[in-house]
A = this chain, B = another copy of it.
Amino acid sequence: MLATPGIDVWVATASAAGSPYLVPVSLAWVDGRAVIAVARSSLTATNLTTSREARLAVGPTRDVVMIDAALEEVVDVAADAALGSAYVAQADWDPRDDTGYVFLVLRPVRVQAWREANEIPGRTLMRDGAWLTEMEA
Contact = CB atoms under 8 A, between A and B. Distances in A.
Nearest to A26: B118
Contact of A44 (B16, B18, B56, B119): B119
Q: Copy number in this complex?
A: 2
Interface of A is mostly: strand
Given A26-B118, A57-B10, A18 B18 contact: yes
A53 B19 CA distance: 7
| Residue of A14, A47, A64 with most partner-chain B CB within 10 A | A14
A23 B54 contact: no
| Residue of A20, A37, A62 with most partner-chain B CB within 10 A | A20
Contacts of A62: 8, 24
Given A12-B22, A20-B21, A60-B60, 11 more contacts: A10-B10, A10-B61, A12-B20, A13-B20, A18-B50, A19-B53, A24-B117, A26-B118, A37-B118, A93-B118, A95-B118
Interface of A: 8-10, 12-26, 37-39, 42, 44, 47, 50-51, 53-57, 60-62, 64, 66, 93, 95, 114, 117-119
20 contacts: A10-B57, A10-B61, A12-B12, A12-B21, A12-B22, A13-B20, A14-B15, A14-B19, A16-B18, A18-B53, A20-B20, A20-B51, A20-B53, A22-B57, A22-B66, A23-B117, A24-B57, A24-B64, A25-B117, A93-B118
